[in-house]
Amino acid sequence: MLVLKFGGTSLANAERVRNAHQIVKQRGGKNPVVVCSAVSGITNKLIALSSEGSVEEIIPIHDKIISELGLPVGLLLPLYQELRAAVERLRKEQSKESLDVVQSFGERFSVRIMEAYFKSQGEQAKAYDAFDVGMLTDDRFGAANPLKEHADQIKKHLNRLDHIAIVTGYIGKTKDGRVTTLSRGGSDFTASLIGAALDAEEIQIWTDVNGMLSTDPKVVPSAKTIDSISFQEAAELATFGAKVMHPKSIQPALDTIQAIQEPSSSRKAGKKAGSRASPRERA
């Protein structure tokens, strides 16, 4: 089983969503888990809502994608209503907790668009909010960490499904049901946690550049794609600011591989995985 993660630019408009669907069809194998970020720029806009801007600027961005994909116009109406209420609460409370609730809508919108589009293309697919499928975290709002129970819980909900699961990146819930976020760029971390929990053969991170490069190509256009990179080197690049991969996303994948290499572990051996990460590919 594979996990494929699509970042914001890979879901930024109708054409990108169609492209993501093609990638899942061609590269996802049978019933993969697809992890989605919010549409590009939306998380920033949601954060800004604590003091400025309006939900009414965020709605048309999604409705345009929905209409260009030929999906029902009212697809996200109930969630828009929920978001309006969450923003009202945020403006009153100005708390990290209410900000996480507001932020969670970015990913909750995008998985529902993906589900509807995948279904319109004849796929068996279902959208899930990560907090409904076991992504339990502590209560560090804005930078939450998974609780140790998360892996068993995710396995319970997402193992061996008979359809494509499309899951929100970035968000979780505390044990007592409060919404959290995993820190900016955290959808990579979600993909990695789900991949490790499900013993996935691969975690594929699809984004807007062809792999991990020697440096940020937006800053240094001559940056070169790295053919293969050790987990250690990838973690270092990520920790020192290579936005291409969230720094916390390396460890869960590495833990899985180390468990495979140690026969005393309870995990099954013989999984197709190496000690070097594959390069990322452009979506």
Binding site for ligand ADP (CB under 6 A): 7-10, 37, 185, 207-209, 212-213, 215-218, 237, 242-244
Site for Mg ion (CB under 5 A): how many residues?
A: 2
Give the residue closest to ligand ADP by C-beta: 7
From 106, 185, 186, 247, residue interacting with Mg ion (rule: CB under 5 A): 185
Nearer to ligand ADP, 32 or 185 (CB): 185
CB of 195 to ligand ADP, least distance (A): 16
Considering only residues 173 through 192, tell me which ones interact with ligand ASP, judged by CB under 6 A: 184-187
195 scored as a contact of ligand ASP (CB under 6 A): no
Q: Of 278, 259, 282, which is closest to residue 270 (Cα–Cα)? A: 259
Q: Which does 195 bind (CB under 5 to 8 A by kind): ligand ADP, Mg ion, ligand ASP, none?
A: none
Tokens of 8: 């914001």
216: burial class by Cβ within 10 Å (0-12, 13-18, 19+)? Answer: middle
Tokens of 163: 């359809």
Is the distance from CB of 20 to CB of 206 less than 8 angstroms? yes
What is the C-alpha to C-alpha distance for residues 259 and 202, in angstroms, rounded to an integer? 15
183: left (phi over 0), alpha (psi -120 to 50) or beta: left
Ordered DSSP codes for 230-273:
EHHHHHHHHHTT-TTS-GGGHHHHHHHHHHHH-TTSSS-S--S-
Considering only residues 18 through 77, tell me which ones interact with ligand ASP, judged by CB under 6 A: 37-38, 43
Question: Residue 267 — φ and ψ, nearest 5°?
Answer: -75, 155
169 scored as a contact of ligand ASP (CB under 6 A): yes
Tokens of 151: 């892996």
Site for ligand ASP (CB under 6 A): how many residues?
A: 12
CB of 87 to Mg ion, least distance (A): 24
106 scored as a contact of ligand ASP (CB under 6 A): yes
Nearer to ligand ADP, 91 or 218 (CB): 218
Residues engaged in binding Mg ion (CB under 5 A): 7, 185
Residues engaged in binding ligand ASP (CB under 6 A): 7-8, 37-38, 43, 106, 169-170, 184-187
